[in-house]
Homo-oligomer: A and B are copies of this chain.
Amino acid sequence: MTCAKVRIWASCPQVPSKNHSTGPPNISTIDSSAAGIIRPPVAIPSLRILEDELIERIRRRIPSSEGGALRLGIGHDAALIHAQGWDWVVTCDQFLEGAHFLADKHPPQSVGYKALIRAASDVVAMAARPRFFLLSLALPAERTGAWLNQMLSGMARASKSLGLRLAGGDTARSAGDGARIALNVMVLGEARRGDGIGRAGARPDDGIYVTGILGRAQLGLELILREMSGQRSYRKLLAPHYYPTLSLDFALWLGRHYLPSAMMDISDGLSTDLRRLCRASGVGARIYADQLPLVAVPGSLQGIPELDPLTLALHGGEDYGLLFTAPMRRVSRIPNIFGRTRITRIGEIVRGSGVKIVAAGGKVSSLIPSGWDHFAKR
């Protein structure tokens, strides 16, 4: 199969320029022929622009075709490798100082926790159970004391919450001036043969679903970047950014019952990730603004454009909820709630390409993918 957008290569948002402007409105009325074009949020040269080309170059040069034991390779949340009876699902994710976290803004516990959650999320999003992980650490010498201990305690919390066990890894000292922290996590998960779900199976008329509330992690991040994280009344709003949770049980249930036609996690924002799912499946999508499960923004924060609930929900990253599609004949089996996980139908798959959003008043617009990791934009 061809993979227009290779998600397993594209899960790391890049560091945007500091001179980044907020850019054009996120919901625009560009005609549909242009709707398929990704507009990068930054104007400076950046890997983000090169990403598709870069990944294509890697794919062309290194043997990577699917087939045989490699059932799903590049282009899904994780790779699916067939073993007798069970399938192994493997993924890797970098968590880099300066690119994915800021050592002066993010508590080390959160860094360790999120590094593991972020990687495990790609396994969960294929309806697999994370079992083992490998940890590669590159550290400056001055981070091998208290910072490391606290980072590890956050990682232990994540591993316990998911039943994940550490199987090994690799340590190195990061070298040179301005040496930075780099965490690389590889997660191995297992699925019963045939249960694993990729992102290429969505078909016209399938319903589109999300789990959880959209935009909560981004709201927390915006407060941190605005130096408002110390205010007691906002403190509980930070947890979704520092310690996101995964819907493991629900993902496994979906896989066991063969309900989704396609599934992935929302790590880079709904507008970006839904477009990826559509491209991988060769379809388009239509979603409804008034059906989105929006983050609740306190009254005291209203009026700030970046904190608009719809903007946060469409483009905010790191919620790590599930995005999935289900054929009409299975829609009645999708619950509204599963344990503590809220499930919301937000639209449907359509023929063609691109994602449209229907505003509350009925106006239809193209949804420009604008999800990315904002934490370093200022």
Show the binding face of A for B, using Cβ within 8 Å. 8-12, 14-15, 45-48, 50-51, 54-55, 57-59, 61-65, 69-70, 73-74, 76, 78-79, 81, 83-86, 88, 90-94, 96-100, 131-132, 134-136, 138-139, 141, 144, 148-149, 152-153, 155-156, 159-160, 164-178, 180, 182, 184, 186, 188, 190, 376
Contact = CB atoms under 8 A, between A and B. Distances in A.
Contacts of A98: 175-176
B61 A91 contact: no
Given A62-B152, A83-B83, A84-B85, A90 B171 contact: no
9 closest A-B pairs by beta carbon, nearest first, are: A98-B175, A79-B167, A64-B166, A8-B168, A47-B173, A61-B152, A12-B172, A83-B83, A186-B186
Contacts of A152: 57-58, 61-62
A165 B96 CA distance: 26
A65 B167 CA distance: 8
A162 to B, nearest CB: 10
Nearest to A6: B168
Contacts of A93: 136, 170
Contacts of A155: 61-62
Contact of A156 (B50, B61, B156): B61
Contact of A136 (B88, B94, B176): B94
Contacts of A168: 8-9, 73-74, 76, 78-79, 90-92
